[in-house]
Amino acid sequence: MLTVIGEALVDVLSGGISAPRSFVGGSPLNVAVGLARLGHPVTFIGRWGDDEYGRMIQQQLSANSVQYICGQDSHPTSTARGILDPAGAATYSFDLLWDLPQLALDTPALSEAQVVHTGSLATMVEPGAQKVLKLIERARPHATISYDPNIRPSLITDHSAAVASVERFIALADVVRASDSDLEWLYPHRNVEETAQAWLELGPAMVVATYGSRGPWGLVAAGTARAAAPLVDVADTVGAGDTFIAAMLAALADRELIGGARRENLRKLDVATLEEILDYAARAAAITVSREGANPPFRAEII
């Protein structure tokens, strides 16, 4: 069983002369859908409102066979309003409420999980962020921990506090993915590769940086690997990083490298296998950027 903790929201995307379009999103929710489409049983833990957008979220999860534990309440569902640039990248403003439902604290979806993934706003925005940290601490002995900081600078008022928060999660994680822009924003005084090395020394078995069309680069104890990003016509880049880490986790699960009992096996990952995993995840992400919104591929689509 794989479990994802984090925010669910609705992306309202605008660009050019077209009318705004609404898509179910939130980085962790996108990861959960990506994992389910790649054939892995997954539970999503989040919150949303009892409103039209909340019903859109529930429909998206159910349609993709994602089990969910919802902290539904009277507050509106969170939204992210994005403006697409000519290259398909989005700049967001958020109307966000993040907290964890009480029933998430003792659910079998955490106590029996082999993988627990989190990241993005759920690990930065209070009151939920501290609860997420405690759940990750509780899950770590028996589960592989996956983390994607997915930084949103518009919501961060204290850079130093943000770095400290990220590093607390890095120290608990086994698998980390971050974009080059995340790493450059967090540590403007050093390059991406130096930051990845510093993060690896904090505890993870694998640190991966994604560079958009330039492809991903990864680091494990045995060395480094890089993969090419397939050339595709880009509709937009929404959800590309989320698809990437979902595919990475799926590839690790397929190789039976998940779960706390296999942590040392994951730490011994060789460079050739790392390259295979990066290539698979890059091909999955390329499919997502070729279509609108966060629309990750099914296993059979990745060739």
Tens-of-pLDDT digits for all 303 residues of the chain?
Answer: 899 999 999 988 776 566 777 889 899 999 999 999 999 999 999 999 999 999 999 999 999 999 999 877 788 999 887 776 666 566 777 888 999 877 677 788 888 999 999 999 999 999 999 999 999 999 999 999 999 999 989 889 999 999 999 999 999 999 999 999 999 999 999 999 999 999 999 999 999 999 988 999 999 999 999 999 999 988 888 899 999 999 999 999 999 999 999 999 999 999 999 999 999 999 999 999 999 888 999 999 997
Return the half-sphere exposure (C-beta side, CA atoms, 13 A cut-off) of residue 67. Answer: 12
Instruction: Give 245's contacts (C-beta < 8 A, 6+ positions apart).
Output: 31, 34, 117, 146, 148, 175, 177, 281
- H-only helix segments in 38-121: 52-63, 108-111
CA distance 52 to 214: 38
What CATH number did the domain enclosing 215 receive?
Answer: 3.40.1190.20
Q: What is the pLDDT of residue 49?
A: 92
Q: What is the pLDDT of residue 77?
A: 93
For residue 166, give the nearest of 209, 220, 123 by alpha carbon: 123
Q: Count CB neighbours of 17 within 10 A.
A: 5
Q: Give 228's strand partners.
A: none
- State the total domains in the chain: 1
For residue 276, give the nearest of 230, 227, 217, 203 by alpha carbon: 227
Name the token pair of 129.
């962020």
Asked, for residue 276, whether it belongs to a domain, the answer is yes
Identify the residue whose tokens are 């850079």: 159
Asked, for residue 65, whether it belongs to a domain, the answer is yes
Asked, for residue 286, whether it belongs to a domain, the answer is yes
Asked, for residue 303, whether it belongs to a domain, the answer is no
Task: Give the domain extent around 55.
Answer: 2-298
Identify the residue whose tokens are 């659910």: 107
- Cβ–Cβ < 8 Å for 28, 100: no
Q: Give 223's strand partners.
A: 220
What SS3 class is residue 41?
Answer: coil
Q: What is the pLDDT of residue 274?
A: 98
Name the token pair of 58.
């529930």
Q: What is the pLDDT of residue 16?
A: 59
| Ramachandran area for residue 252 (φ above 0: left; ψ -120 to 50: alpha; else beta) | alpha
Identify the residue whose tokens are 């609404």: 22
For residue 43, give the nearest of 98, 96, 118, 97 by alpha carbon: 118
Name the token pair of 192.
């991406």
Main-chain dihedrals φ then ψ at residue 98, nearest 5 degrees: -130, 125
- Cβ–Cβ < 8 Å for 243, 30: yes
User: For the packed helices 52-63 and 27-37, what is the interaxial angle rounded to 10 degrees?
Assistant: 30
* Cis ω before 149 (30° cut-off from 0): no
User: Cα 54 from chain centroid?
Assistant: 20
DSSP 232: -
Asked, for residue 215, whether it belongs to a domain, the answer is yes
Asked, for residue 157, whether it belongs to a domain, the answer is yes
